[in-house]
Chains A and B, each alone.
Chain A
């Protein structure tokens, strides 16, 4: 299997990205799909598949199947909304690749769109939902455990409890992403960040500070997935999909099990690596779905770049920053780049694989892109390369 790509990403499109209230997710999605088709040099009428990814905390009508009609796409041979929480964007690419490879469809547009910032809703309020964690309906709301931040604060707190990580280690992640963002024209936060500023940023859910948290924006990103065999005839450099994996550990919250860490990401990584015939040592850059600093540290471990408990020190040693041994989240990630769920890591992976990263471009022979859902229960991974063969 190794050496032959499954399919290719031949188009990448963005809507306007904004921190201010604006068009609906549905409208933004249409902008991104049109932009992706133009980027690929394709007429919309030549795209015969459409996959949609709405934010899992928004109602279905936010991004309905009717987006097909908005775009005037006729006679589609594939149309679905994918629900795997934050792993959905990576999952869309996977299902599109399989559908294309099987011959069921020729080209699939995959789009993520979200507009969390509304006239009376700021970014913090938009995500202050009660994430079900205990399994007791309504319990999190009842005890005031609201928002994604506390769910991930538990991950950071448990990590610190077990492995003695310091706040400065998580700060090193935030600073590395900021340094990458300063090299990305599309990134939102580009002012240099010092460890003193990080440590002084206000607590959101201790041990998490504001600068540990993602920076949500309104926007949409679309990807066109087509056959590998014809990908080198497209308008843009081909991005071959060599490996795909998912992991959903279903780890019970029981006894000495560690649902914070044994979450399925390792399974997603192993499956994708094996399919591509590569290992962590071959990865040129890693584009992780890390909505909070601690999630990135745990991902480094689960995807095989360091041992359990060593991720914090790996980050603190400068490995993921510009000039480091393993460039990570080279667009500024979700903290300093922009937070559009799975589209953040995936879009940067495509840009890097194409060699279109400009000032932030790094080696790109093998690029890892990941998705993460819920409170880390769902994972997807892709191995991408500009090379048609990794053999």
Chain B
């Protein structure tokens, strides 16, 4: 894994997205990878949370279809997946797959399209 970059709260996640990189929160003191809701390290208590690049590999947990349009920018229907990143944290993200074939545990991978983070099934 790359060296963690120190940052405030979730700025590192968004800075990563801007570069087309999926970042993980991790403790700069003890290197524990944290889920995205943490603001201090759950292992050592350090508030020094840094960011490191994720592999992009993940497992599909389940898929939900947003069936109703709430905003003009995001017309329904579209899919959102709950994913378990290889490093542990769960994340929600748009999903380029088929809801009906979304078995739990299937391998998926992060990709970036028009500057946005998405996941899709691993080909093959």
Hey, which chain B residues are within 8 Å of A145, CB to CB? 66, 80, 92
Nearest-CB distance from A27 to chain B (Å)? 30
Tell me whether B99 and A206 are in contact (CB under 8 A): yes
Chain A 144-184 per-residue mask, 1 if CB under 8 angstroms from chain B, else 0: 11110010011001101110000000000000000000000
Tell me whether B62 and A254 are in contact (CB under 8 A): no
Most buried by B among A143, A160, A204: A143
Hey, which chain A residues are within 8 Å of B103, CB to CB? 161
Chain B 33-76 per-residue mask, 1 if CB under 8 angstroms from chain A, else 0: 00111100010000000000000000001111111101101100
Name B36's closest neighbour in chain A (CB-CB): A135
Hey, which chain A residues are within 8 Å of B99, CB to CB? 206
Given A134-B37, A205-B68, A253-B35, decide whether A162 and B92 contact each other with a Cβ distance below 8 A: no
Tell me whether B62 and A136 are in contact (CB under 8 A): no
Hey, which chain B residues are within 8 Å of A144, CB to CB? 66, 70-71, 73-74, 78, 80
B89 at the interface (CB under 8 A from A): yes
Nearest-CB distance from A239 to chain B (Å)? 38
Chain A: interface residue count, which band? Answer: 20 to 34
Of B63, B64, B88, which contacts A254 at CB under 8 A?
B88
Tell me whether A253 and B66 are in contact (CB under 8 A): no
Of B9, B37, B61, B66, which contacts A252 at CB under 8 A?
B37
A75 at the interface (CB under 8 A from B): no
Hey, which chain A residues are within 8 Å of B61, CB to CB? 158, 161
Hey, which chain B residues are within 8 Å of A205, CB to CB? 64-68
Of A133, A146, A160, A206, which contacts B65 at CB under 8 A?
A206
B121 at the interface (CB under 8 A from A): no
Most buried by A among B9, B61, B104: B61
A128 at the interface (CB under 8 A from B): yes
Hey, which chain B residues are within 8 Å of A359, CB to CB? none
B4 at the interface (CB under 8 A from A): no
Separation of A124 and B76 alpha carbons in the complex (Å):
15
A255 at the interface (CB under 8 A from B): yes
A139 at the interface (CB under 8 A from B): yes
A358 at the interface (CB under 8 A from B): no
Contacts between chains A and B (CB distance < 8 A), count: 99
Nearest-CB distance from B21 to chain A (Å)? 15
Tell me whether B64 and A206 are in contact (CB under 8 A): yes
B111 at the interface (CB under 8 A from A): no
Chain A 243-263 per-residue mask, 1 if CB under 8 angstroms from chain B, else 0: 000000000111110010000
Hey, which chain A residues are within 8 Å of B73, CB to CB? 144
Chain B 68-100 per-residue mask, 1 if CB under 8 angstroms from chain A, else 0: 101101100110101010001111111000010
Separation of A137 and B71 alpha carbons in the complex (Å):
19
Tell me whether B35 and A252 are in contact (CB under 8 A): yes
Hey, which chain A residues are within 8 Å of B66, CB to CB? 144-146, 150, 205
Hey, which chain A residues are within 8 Å of B35, CB to CB? 135, 252-254
Given A136-B10, A136-B36, A137-B10, decide whether A146 and B62 contact each other with a Cβ distance below 8 A: no
Tell me whether A153 and B64 are in contact (CB under 8 A): yes
Separation of A143 and B119 alpha carbons in the complex (Å):
12
Show the binding face of A for B, using Cβ within 8 Å: 124, 128, 133-137, 139-140, 143-147, 150, 153-154, 157-158, 160-162, 202-207, 252-256, 259
A157-B63, A161-B104 are known contacts; what are 17 more A-B pairs with Cβ within 8 Å?
Answer: A133-B92, A134-B37, A135-B35, A137-B10, A139-B92, A145-B92, A150-B80, A153-B65, A154-B64, A157-B82, A158-B62, A161-B103, A162-B104, A206-B99, A253-B89, A255-B84, A255-B88
Please list 16 pairs of residues, one from A and one from B, whose beta carbons are closer than 8 Å in the complex, sorted by A's number.
A137-B9, A144-B78, A145-B66, A146-B66, A146-B70, A150-B66, A150-B80, A161-B103, A203-B65, A203-B77, A204-B67, A206-B99, A252-B38, A253-B36, A253-B37, A259-B90
Sorted nearest first, the 7 A-B pairs with minimum C-beta distance are A135-B37, A253-B90, A144-B74, A161-B104, A206-B65, A157-B62, A203-B67
